[in-house]
Amino acid sequence: MSIAPSPTQLLHLHRLRLPNGLRVLLAPDPSTPVVTVSVHVDVGFRSEPEGRTGFAHLFEHLMFQGSESLEKLAHFRHVQGSGGVFNGSTHQDYTDYFEVLPAAALERALFLEADRLRAPTLTEENLRNQVDVVKEEIRLNVLSRPYGGFPWILLPPVLYDTFPNAHNGYGDFSELERATLDDAAVFFDSFYAPGNTVLTVVGDIDIDETSRLVDKHFGDILARPTPPRPSFAEPWRGAQRQQTVPDAHAPMPALALGYRLPDPAVDLEGYLAHTLLGSVLADGEAARLQRRLVYGESIVTDLSAGAGLSGSPLNARDPDTFIITAVHPASVEPERVMRVVDEELDRLVQKGPDSGELSRISARWASSIYHEHDRVMSRTLALGSRELLYGRAELAAALPDKLAAIGPAQVAKAAAGLRAQGRAVLVVEPTGATNGGEQR
């Protein structure tokens, strides 16, 4: 069996900064026949203005609707017609756009991303069309299904008090409908400034040639002031707060517990200890809550625990959220589930996990980080998002070693931190109005 180089060795990261402020990450990898180009913009739904919930995501849709050199639909057609795939997504603190194509389309991909970052076509007609599309997306993912928005939309307002942290990032229909073209222009001109953006290119690329192409296509994007990034900090809560929401589609109750996490930019080890704590509690058949709640007491059907609103760690700045979820039969009181969670956390505070338990969990994390690295698309997105959020693209590859270095005492301390704060408790209660689809 050969010894493969570790991802850190494989990264070969090169950084550039164009005069207009654009940050550029190049990561050559001669082993792949494809190339990925991603753009990460430093604006997410935490930055959208009050009265315009959902605007960051709506704007992401508008960025696909054409630009100075590309009529409506041309972006999709050129990416796919060059043999590639694309997507975009909106998160708490950033919005990303990416395309993966055969390597022969490198310059075309740079051109396509640059054109919309320079001069997107923002029209009333496209705005109204995409408001309709986004409303369908929300109907599909939230309104017409069980556990829609659980927990990422439903939990934040229980844990947080300020608008940026607490509001629904998908947006209210009435506010989406009120969005204007002027809102879009102001949003683009301030947040989509090149100085607020990271471009990442991964593939079998030549550094000099790719740098030249990046400069050719992105160099004349208008430099604009980078908007000040406000702090979204708010105090940790001392007392528990609980809220119950009805769900007409859900057949069983669900519970989500939300806790605050250390700031990963200040205390990375403390943050990662929570990531391991999540795995100690819920990942795999041997995990502690799995053994007690799902098997031992048999009161939970499925559960999860870990860092991050979207279910993956290191995907947001401070404040970030640690979440435990459980789906359980209606005969089980949520308090009973919480009691077991607290008992297991207390056990960890007192004794910590054993070292074998931790090394097994670190091995699984290493495996999953290698998998992320193997796919050029996921590697590119991990590099770009960590560069944008923390200025540390290398984190994507350094994580296996950093996780392996965390010991039982740090995990015990993380557990103690959860026990010491006032958590948010979200209870989803089935109202059973419309289940199933009987024929008639």
Partner 1 sequence: MTVATNPSGRRSGYRDAARIGRTEAGPRPLPPLSESKPAAEFELVERTLPTGLRVIAVARRTVPTVELRLRIPFAGEDRTHPARAEVLASALLSGTAKRDRVQIDNELAAIGAEFAVGVDPERLLISGSALATGLPELLDVLADLLTAAAYPEVEFSRERERLAERIMVARSQPRMVAREALQRRRYGDHPAARELPESGDVLDVTPDDVARLHAEQVLPTGSTLVLVGDIEPDRAIALVAEALGGWAPPGVASELPPLPALVGRDLLLVHRPGAVQSQLRLSAAAVPRTDPRYPALQLANLVFGGYFSSRLVENLREDKGYTYSAQSFVEFSPYAAALLVETDVTTDVTAASVLETRYELARLSAVPPDEAELESARRYAIGSLLISLDSQPGVASTLSALAGVGLDARWLRAHPAALEAVTLEQVAQVAAEFFTPTAFTGVVVGDADVVSHRLRALGGIELP
Question: Which amino acid is residue 203, in one-letter code?
Answer: G
Query: Closest separation between CB of residue 364 and partner 1, Å?
Result: 5
The dihedral over CA atoms of 125, 129, 134, 137, expressed in degrees to the nearest 10, equals: -170
3-class state of residue 131 by DSSP = helix
Question: Which amino acid is residue 49, in one-letter code?
Answer: P
- Say how far apart CA 336 and CA 274 lie, in whole Å: 23
Provide the sign of the torsion angle of the four alpha carbons 247, 250, 254, 257, taken in this order.
Answer: negative
| By the rule CB under 8 A, 121 interacts with partner 1 | yes
User: Which of the ranges 16-24, 133-141, 315-323, 339-347 carries the binding residues for partner 1, by CB under 8 A?
Assistant: 133-141
**For 150, which DSSP code?**
T
What tokens were used for 126? 């496209």
Question: Which amino acid is residue 131, in one-letter code?
Answer: V
Residues 304-333 interacting with partner 1 (rule: CB under 8 A): 327, 329
Cα–Cα distance list, 114 to 186, 201, 305 (Å): 19, 13, 39
- Say how far apart CA 112 and CA 120 lie, in whole Å: 11
**Separation of first and last alpha carbons in the chain:** 61
Query: Closest separation between CB of residue 422 and partner 1, Å?
Result: 30
Which CB atom, from 92 or from 264, has the smaller least distance to partner 1?
Answer: 92
The single residue among 111, 160, 259, 322 that binds partner 1, judged by CB under 8 A, is 111
Query: Closest separation between CB of residue 279 and partner 1, Å?
Result: 9
Query: Closest separation between CB of residue 227 and partner 1, Å?
Result: 8
| By the rule CB under 8 A, 100 interacts with partner 1 | yes
User: Which of the ranges 67-75, 89-97, 318-326, 416-424 carries the binding residues for partner 1, by CB under 8 A?
Assistant: 67-75
Query: Closest separation between CB of residue 369 and partner 1, Å?
Result: 9
Which CB atom, from 80 or from 240, has the smaller least distance to partner 1?
Answer: 80
Residues 240-279 interacting with partner 1 (rule: CB under 8 A): 248-252
Residues 360-379 interacting with partner 1 (rule: CB under 8 A): 360-361, 363-364, 366-367, 370-371, 373-377
Query: Closest separation between CB of residue 389 and partner 1, Å?
Result: 19
Query: Closest separation between CB of residue 113 and partner 1, Å?
Result: 12
Q: How many CB atoms lie within 10 A of CB 182?
A: 9
| By the rule CB under 8 A, 336 interacts with partner 1 | no
Q: What is the DSSP string of 110-122?
A: HHHHHHHHH-B--
User: Which of the ranges 15-23, 72-80, 154-162, 341-349 carries the binding residues for partner 1, by CB under 8 A?
Assistant: 72-80
| By the rule CB under 8 A, 119 interacts with partner 1 | yes
Residues 197-236 interacting with partner 1 (rule: CB under 8 A): 204, 220, 227-228
The single residue among 28, 44, 54, 84 that binds partner 1, judged by CB under 8 A, is 84
- Tell me which residue of 387, 370, 360, 364 sits closest to 6, measured CA to CA: 370
Q: How many CB atoms lie within 10 A of CB 127?
A: 19
Q: Mask 381-410, x = binds partner 1 (CB under 8 A)? A: ------------------------------
Cβ distance 351 to 342 under 8 Å? no
Which CB atom, from 196 or from 261, has the smaller least distance to partner 1?
Answer: 196
Number of chain residues interacting with partner 1 (CB under 8 A): 113
| By the rule CB under 8 A, 429 interacts with partner 1 | no
The single residue among 53, 67, 197, 385 that binds partner 1, judged by CB under 8 A, is 67
Q: 355-374 vs 268-282: helix axis angle to the nearest 10?
A: 100
Query: Closest separation between CB of residue 111 and partner 1, Å?
Result: 5
The single residue among 12, 15, 17, 132 that binds partner 1, judged by CB under 8 A, is 132
- Say how far apart CA 430 and CA 252 lie, in whole Å: 6
Q: Does residue 151 have a cis peptide bond before it, meaning omega lies within 30 degrees of 0?
A: yes
- Say how far apart CA 20 and CA 31 lie, in whole Å: 32
Which CB atom, from 223 or from 416, has the smaller least distance to partner 1?
Answer: 223
Which CB atom, from 297 or from 335, has the smaller least distance to partner 1?
Answer: 297
Cβ distance 303 to 290 under 8 Å? yes
